[in-house]
Each structure stands twice: as structure tokens, then as C-alpha cells.
Amino acid sequence: MTKLIIILLSAVFINNYVLSRFLGICPFLGVSKKLDSATGMSLAVIFVMLMATAATWPIQTYLLTPNNLGYLQTIVFILVIAALVQLVEIVLKRYMPSLHKSLGVYLPLITTNCAVLGVTILNIDEGYTFLEAMVNSLGSGLGFFLAMVMFSGVRSTIEGCDVPKSFRGLPITLVAAAITSLSFLGFGGVVENLFA
Amino acid sequence: MNTLQNFSKGLIRENPVLVLVLGTCPTLATSTSVTNALGMGVAATVVLICSNIVISALRKVIPDKVRIPCYIVLIAGFVTMVQMLVKAFAPALDASLGIYLPLIVVNCIILGRAEMFANKNKVLDSAVDAVGMGAGFTLALVMMATIREVFGNGSFMGVPIPVLSENKISIMTMAPGGFFVFGCLIALVNKFASNKPKKEEFGCAGCPSAAVCGKLSCDGKEAAVSD
């Protein structure tokens, strides 16, 4: 149990996917302008990360590894994720139209999101059990959510500032991201000592 | 457009990282040292050249409707090959690039070039375009890595620099330094780039999720940002 909590907390705060691992920078910079789209995107990412882990972990453990097909990992995972996202979209559209309306537009964006492929590969590389892998995915998703929501707040403050001309747009956003990511450095070493 | 222009546009005028703002994830993550940056740049360039050549050669065979899945499978195949080669011949590089090596699959530069260039042009032109874009990617990565390694670690390609190695600014090699240096470099390019290509020529058009993303973020002045 303690191990699960450590995995969860370190995925959210210390190894934050966006701010310390640099995965999923695309939606982080692109969709964080407004709070509601940031929230929608992050919820879709959490959902797809959990689904993708639930699908890829058994494939790797029971299909690829026993048959010495480990080298097919990249190609199989990206196809599974792409197919899964399509499937989720169809199912949502048919059975949960209201949820599809709020999350649907973000789903295709997630297929080529490196955070999702990253979390599935990292779960295998770290040698997690199925439960640990799911907890890690949940933590990574929550970390993504936290970073997105925090950053959309930071960005709404930048909007009203007088920024030097050459820094307008993306450059000042990146500098703001640097400061946001600085705040996450403060969590280093906290989780390991929490249960010591 | 002649061959030389086709090659050189990737280096500066349409630099994939600093002007088109594609491939931000590997740029930020692997630019902590010059050796890593070079390794990442070369690996991505090899994948880009192979995928551009094959996609261009198959451009009349691949049905339009399923082209994106086809491109992804082709790219994933080449990435797996590169991954195996790196594991076999440069295990140290494989260890330091780690997860970012398989993640070349979702690098938008590669899918973007397939979508914007290779499926409309001849094999030779696509190959030249890939070499130019790959060189531009490597150049930007090495530039960023040089700044970060020299100031953050006081060394260049692992060789210590006299005064700086005793006065390290180690934040430069950490995550915040990456964002900061990248932001400053783009600002520098904005300042000095006189003839930036028009917005329609790049960005959203090359991203497979442009239709969705366009509604959310590309409506303003900002360039498309993708992995």
C-alpha cells in the first residue's frame, strides 16, 4: 500500500509529466489558454492514459514478452492507443453523448500525444505490476491535470501584461512555464521521506 | 524551388524547432548535454529521411483516407530499427535518451513532413527536404544543448571548461532551464527573423489533429505547437 501511495504522489508531484519529464508539451502550451478547455483536455488525458495502460500492460506481459516479441513494443503500443482512442470516441458518441460533447474534441488530439505513449512504455520499463502501472497512470494523469490547471491560471495573468515585442506569444509562455516548473522542484525528496 | 533552397529552408527559414515550433518535447528533454542532443538529432534525422523517402515513393499507393495510420506504422517501423541500432552500437546513448528514443514515433516533425511535403513531392525532393529538416532539428538541439551544458554543467561535450566548471548554474540543466532557454531562443529568432514564412505555410496544416486543435488554440496569433 505504501508503495502505491509513493508511486501516486511521485507521479503527480516529483516526476510530473509536463514540468519535469517534458512529455505532452503540445497540449500544455496549446490548450492551456482557457481554464475550461484545459480541464477538458486533462480529463480526456487521464481517461485515455488509464485505458491505454489497461490495454497495453497485458499485451506486453502476456503476449509480447513470452513470445520474445519485445521489439514490437513501439509499433504495437501506438497502434493500440490509436485504435483505442477511436473506439472510445465511438462508444462515447453512442452511449454518453453529453460526455462526448465535453471530451470528444480532445480525443483525436491525444492519439499522437507523447505523454500517453510515454506512460505506457515507462510502466513496462519500470517493471510495475498491473496495479502499480494503473496507479502510476492515474498519478501521471493527475499530474498533467494539475500542471494544466495551474498553468492556465498563470497564462490568464500574462494576457494582461505588457510584454516586450519579441517575447510576445510563445516565448513569454515558455518563460512562464519555466517559473511554474521551478515551483515543482520544491517537491524533490519530499515523498521518499514521507514514510521513512 | 531548386534543390539547394529545398535543403537550406529547413536550416533557418523554416527551422522545425525554432520557427515551426514542432518537436518541442524531445527538444526540451534531450538538450541537457551536447552529446545527447547530437544523438537525438541524428536518430530523428535518420527516421525522417527513411520515412520521407518511403512515404513519397508510396504516395500513389496509400489511400487518402487511411494515410495517417499508414504513416504512423511506417514511422514506428523505422523508429524500431533505429532503436535496435542504437541499442547495439551505442548502449550509453540508449541509456541516456531512454524513453525519448521510442517517442520519436510521435514527434510531429516527422508526421508533419510526411503530411506537408512527402505525400506531394518526388522521392528525391522529399529526401533532400528530410535532410534539411533533420539538420535544422539537430542544429537547434545542439544550440540549446550548448547553452545549457556550458552554463549548467560547465563543460562542452563532457570536457570541462576552466572557470565555468567551478561556477555551475545547475538550474540550466534542470527542467526550468530548458523552458527558459527555449523561450529565449524563440524570442531571439522572432527579433532577427525578417522574412518569416506566412502562417498558412506551416504549423497547423502539418499536424494530423489540426481540425480539432484549430478550434482550440490556433485561432489566435500563436503558431501551432505540437509534440
Residues of B in contact with A185 (CB under 8 A): 174-176
The reported pLDDT for the residue numbered A104 is 67
- According to the 3-state scheme, what is the secondary structure of A110-153? HHCCHHHHHHHHHHHHCCCCHHHHHHHHHHHHHHHHHHHHHHHH
pLDDT at B41: 92
Alpha carbon A143 to chain centroid, angstroms: 7
Looking up cell 513519397 gives: B56
Residue B219, burial from CB neighbour count under 10 angstroms (0-12, 13-18, 19+): exposed
- Cα A113 to its chain centre, rounded Å, is 8
pLDDT value for B45: 93
Whether B216 sits inside 8 A of A31 (CB atoms) is: yes
Nearest residue in chain A measured CA to CA from B106: A112
Q: What is the DSSP letter of B155?
A: E
Number of residues written out for chain B = 227
Confidence (pLDDT) at B24: 83
Q: Which amino acid is at B121?
A: N
Chain B positions in Cβ-Cβ contact with residue A175 (cut-off 8 Å): 179-180, 183-184
With contact defined as beta carbons under 8 Å apart, do A1 and A8 qualify?
Answer: no
Q: Which of B70, B94, B180 to mutate to test the interface with A (most CBs of A within 10 A)?
A: B180
Cα–Cα distance measured from residue A108 to residue A156, given in angstroms and rounded to the nearest whole number: 26
Give the domain ranges of chain B.
3-216
CA distance B209 to chain A (A): 5
Distance of CA A185 to the CA centre of its chain: 18
- Kindly list the distances between the CA atom of residue A40 and the CA atoms of A85, A109, B191, B220, in Å, as whole numbers in the listed order: 15, 12, 35, 20
Cα B114 to Cα B106: distance, rounded to the nearest angstrom: 13
Interface membership of B176 toward A (CB under 8 Å): yes
Per residue in B199-224, pLDDT (tens digit) is 444 444 445 445 444 444 443 333 33
Q: Judge whether residue B31 has pLDDT over 90.
A: no
The residue of B174, B179, B207 whose CB has the most chain A CBs within 10 angstroms, and thus the best one to mutate to test that interface, is B179
DSSP class of residue A31?
Answer: S
A74 touches chain B (CB under 8 A): yes
The residues with which B156 forms a beta bridge, in sequence order, are: B159
Residues 99-118 of B with CB under 8 A from A: 99, 102-103, 105-108, 111
Distance CA B40, CA B23 (A): 11
**For A179, nearest residue in chain B (alpha carbons):** B176
B142 compared with B108, residue with greater pLDDT: B142
Please state, rounded to an integer, the average pLDDT across all residues of chain A.
84
pLDDT greater than 90 at residue B47: yes
Judge whether B81 and B20 are in contact, CB under 8 Å. Answer: no
Q: Amino acid identity, residue B131? A: V
Spans in chain A with pLDDT lower than 70 = 103-105, 109, 192, 195-196
User: Can you tell me the distance from the alpha carbon of A140 to that of A132, in angstroms, rounded to the nearest whole number?
Assistant: 12
Q: Report how far residue A146's alpha carbon sits from residue A140's, in angstroms, rounded to the nearest whole number.
A: 10
Strand partners for B155: B160
- What pLDDT is recorded for position B217? 41
A80 touches chain B (CB under 8 A): no
Minimum Cα–Cα distance from A38: chain B residue: B216
Phi and psi at residue B156, in whole multiples of 5°?
-130, 120
pTM here is: 0.83
- Quote the CA–CA distance of A137 and B221 in Å, as a whole number: 34
> Do residues A185 and B179 lie in contact, with contact meaning Cβ atoms separated by under 8 Å?
no
Interface test with A, best of B30, B189, B225 (most A CBs within 10 A): B225
Closest CA to B123 of B67, B57, B206: B57
Does A42 contact chain B (CB < 8 Å)?
Answer: no
Chain A residues touching B99 at Cβ < 8 A: 118, 121-122, 125
What gap in Å lies between CA B212 and CA B227, rounded to an integer? 15
End-to-end CA distance of chain A: 14
Kindly determine whether residue B24 and residue A118, on different chains, have CB atoms separated by under 8 Å. no
Give the model confidence (pLDDT) of A96-143 as tens digits: 787 777 766 677 767 777 888 888 988 888 888 899 999 999 999 999
Nearest-angstrom CA–CA distance, B68 and B122: 19
Range in A125-134, B12-21, B89-98, B182-191 the model is least confident about: B12-21
